[in-house]
Amino acid sequence: MRKLLVSGICALAFASAGANAASYPSRPITMIVPFGAGGPTDTIARIIAERLGPVLGTTVVVENVGGAAGSIGVGKVVQAAPDGYTLSIGHWGTHAVNSLVLPLKYDVARDLAPISLVASNPYLILSKNALPASDLAGLIAWLKARPHAAWVASNGVGSAGYLIGSRFKAATGTDIGFVPYRGGIGDSIKDLVSGRIDLMFDQVASSMPFVRAGTIRAYAVTAKSRLAVAPDIPTVDEAGLPGFHFAAWHGIWAPKGTPADIVDKLNRAVVTTLADASVRERLTKIGQQIPPRERQTPEALATQQRAEIEQWRPIVGAAGAGEH
C-alpha cells in the first residue's frame, strides 16, 4: 500500500510538471531591465524580446527598473513569483560584481535560476569632443597634467563604469572623479554628448551610434582585436594601454524555484531566438557576439556567473569599490 501511495505521489508530481510546461505561458511575460531606457542592456533586451514573444506564443514586455547599479531591478525579480512570468536580463555587473560591492538583500548566485547567456561585447574608452586629445596616449597625458579635472559617468559605486574607471586610474596613474547616474547610460551619454561630463567607459552596443555620428570620440576598444563594426578604432593594446581588456556578457534569469520544465522551455525559446537570422544580424550590428550553442545553457550561465564573481573579487578590493 505504501509503495502504491509513493508511486501515486510521484505520478502526480510528474503530471503537475508536465502541466506547467503545457499551459505555460498563458499570459504576457515581463523582462526586467535593471537600468533606464536607451542603454546597452535595454537595447539587447528589446531585440531579444521582440522575437522571444512569438517563439513562446505570447508577448514579452520589457520593463525598465533602474537604480543602485542595477540591484533594484534584479531584486524585483528575486521577489517575484517563480512562475516564469518575470525574467531578469543583466550582465557581469548586475549579476556578479554587485554581490561584492553592495549590501544586497539577495544572493545573485543562489536566488535566481539561470536561463541562458545571450550576448557579449567589449567596452569603448570615450570622451566628449571638446577634449583636445586625439588619441589615447594624448588623453592620458592630458589627464595626468590635470588632476581632479575630469569627470567620468557611472551607474554608481560597483557599476561597470566605476570599476573600469578605477582600473583605468590605477593603470594610467591619473586622477578622475565619478558622477553616478540613476537613469543609466541613456542619461549619461546625453551629458557626454553635450559636454557636461568628460569621459565614459561604455559598451559598444549603446555608444557606437554616437561615435558614428561624430558627437563623441572613441579612443580604443577594450578587446584583443578590432571590432568588425568599427575597424578604425584601435584596440587598447595598439593604443598604448596593453592588457586593459574588458567585456560585458549578458544573460537571462528567472526567480529561484521556477519549475525545471518552465526553465527548460524558456531556454529552448531563447536558443531559438538567438538562432534567428534577423536577431543575429541586429545584435551583430551593435557589436554583440552571440555565444556558441553549447554555451547557451543554464549550466553555462551559472558557471560564467560564478567565475566572474571570483575573478572580480580581488579587483574590487584593489579598486576600493566601497569608497565614494
Whether pLDDT at 78 is above 50: yes
pTM listed for this prediction: 0.78
Percent of the chain with pLDDT over 70: 91
- Supply the angle between the helices 277-285 and 260-275 in degrees, to the nearest 10: 70
As a whole number of angstroms, the distance between CA 202 and CA 208 comes to 9
Q: Which residue has the higher pLDDT, 81 or 11?
A: 81
Whether pLDDT at 157 is above 90: no
pLDDT given at position 8: 52
As a whole number of angstroms, the distance between CA 259 and CA 174 comes to 50
CATH of span 122-239: 3.40.190.10
DSSP state at residue 79? T
User: For the segment 32-68, what is each residue's pLDDT rounded down to a tens digit?
Assistant: 999 988 888 999 999 999 999 999 999 999 999 998 8
User: For the segment 97-134, what is each residue's pLDDT rounded down to a tens digit?
Assistant: 999 989 999 999 999 999 999 999 899 999 999 999 99
pLDDT given at position 9: 52
CB atoms within 10 A of CB 34: 32
Tell me the fold of 27-120+247-319. D-Maltodextrin-Binding Protein; domain 2 (3.40.190)
Which of 87, 77, 71 lies closest to 35, judged by CA?
71
* First and final C-alpha spacing in the chain: 66
Residues 6+ apart with CB under 8 A from 115: 87, 251, 252, 253, 254, 263, 266, 267, 270, 298, 301
Domain boundaries, the chain: 27-120+247-319, 122-239
Mean pLDDT across the stretch 243-247? 92
Whether pLDDT at 208 is above 70: yes
- Supply the angle between the helices 204-213 and 185-194 in degrees, to the nearest 10: 20
Mean pLDDT across the stretch 4-20? 50
Percent of the chain with pLDDT over 90: 71
Chain mean pLDDT for the chain: 90
- Output the CA angle 139-178-130, nearest 5 degrees: 40
pLDDT given at position 64: 97
pLDDT given at position 229: 84
Using pLDDT thresholds of 50, 70 and 90, give the confidence band for residue 90: very high
27-120+247-319 and 122-239 agree in CATH topology? yes
pLDDT given at position 16: 47
